[in-house]
Amino acid sequence: MDEITAPVDLGSPAGVLNPAAVGFARRARHRPVVPSGAKGGWRTKRWEYWGILTPELAVGLTIAHLDYASTLQLYVFERGTGRETSLEPLKILPSYADVSLPDTLPPLTAFGAFGGAGLRFHDADGGTRLQASSPRITADLFAEADGDVLGVVVPWSASRYQYTLKDVARRVSGTVTVDGREYPVGGEDSFAVLDRGRGRWPYSQRWNWGVGSGTVDGTRLGLQVGGKWTANTPATENALIVDGQLHHYDGELEFEYDLADPASTWRVHGPWIDATLTPFHRRTAATNAVVISARTWQAFGTWTGAARTPDGTEYSMDGLGGWIEEARNRW
């Protein structure tokens, strides 16, 4: 794929993909303006997802707008007790007072508030402040922005295309509170991941996505792998970040796993990587509403294996924390 090095519009006012936007970027270069509503067949998707992994917690915070509906997610897995706590309200035909997901270059502020949940993600002061509130879960976190990211456009067709930005190795600090118990967040073993999406999707889609972060032998690493949804396009969302520098890879990867066994390992391999995630927990989530059907199998765990940069330097993945998933959605 070509590298995007200057700001570029994702689509035209008519909602057709701008061919100049197809490629990858190591900064947020895409202005992801996508017209909403019936003009595009009600297929426009916008979301901001933050995943946080610490020695004590796995956390998911999501604001999503799907033209005709919005969803929020607050999810916490407490590693010490094995308890999951989740709130996922859905609102049909939301207003601007319910949710805002700007189609702009950073800095930006995204928010969502309905169904007993409130989320706000605000870029400022060299990072992003992540705030969440609900009767059972609250969070106030700061995710530092201190290295390359991976921005990719997936062009299924002129009228169906997706911009995604993955920032997978951000240091994070703050607090998360679950049912009155406060967990401090910080240190080298805690990290945050941003998954940003703007685009116009086909109705049905399936994908794999995996991330890892940590310091191995004095080198800070970030791993980003994905597949299935990019097949038969020129796009890939595969990268290794070494001490803040992004290395992007073309070509599809192989994902091997067994959804019937929650404890099974997940292997990812290809020309530049052979790595396995051994889970400490697998989350299964399903939504079956009139307008939205989704199912996700997400395994949290520890990576082993190795990956190579294009110059042939090999880096151990042993001990990286992270997660990997399969998702199937009809939106």
Q: Predicted confidence band at 270 (pLDDT cuts at 50, 70, 90)? A: very high
Question: Under DSSP, is residue 244 helix (H, G, I), strand (E, B) or coil?
Answer: coil
Phi and psi based region of residue 216 (left: phi greater than 0; alpha: psi -120 to 50; beta: remaining): beta
Q: What's the rounded mean pLDDT across residues 132-154? A: 97
| Upper half-sphere CA count for residue 322 (Cβ side, 13 Å) | 30
311-327 pLDDT tens trace: 999 999 999 999 999 99
Cα separation of 257 and 267, whole Å? Answer: 7
Q: Tell me if 28 sits within 8 A of 105, measured CB to CB.
A: yes
pLDDT, position 293: 76
Structural contact between residues 252 and 235, judged by C-beta atoms closer than 8 angstroms:
no
Q: What is the pLDDT of residues 92-121, one digit of tens each?
A: 999 989 999 999 999 999 999 999 999 999
Strands 83-87 and 245-249: unpaired
């792998």: which residue's tokens? Answer: 225
3-state secondary structure 116-185: CEEEEEEEECCEEEEEEECCCEEEEEEEECCCCCEEEEEECCCCCEEEEEEEEEEEEEEEEEECCEEEEE
Cα–Cα distance for residue pair 18/6, rounded to 1 Å: 14
Can you give the pTM of this predicted structure? 0.96
**Using one digit for the tens of pLDDT, what is the confidence trace for 186-221?**
999 999 999 999 999 988 899 999 999 999 999 999
Determine the average pLDDT of the residues in 3-24: 92
Instruction: Identify which of 180, 197, 217 has the alpha carbon closest to the alpha carbon of residue 50.
Output: 197
Q: How confident is the model at residue 289 (pLDDT cuts 50, 70, 90)?
A: low
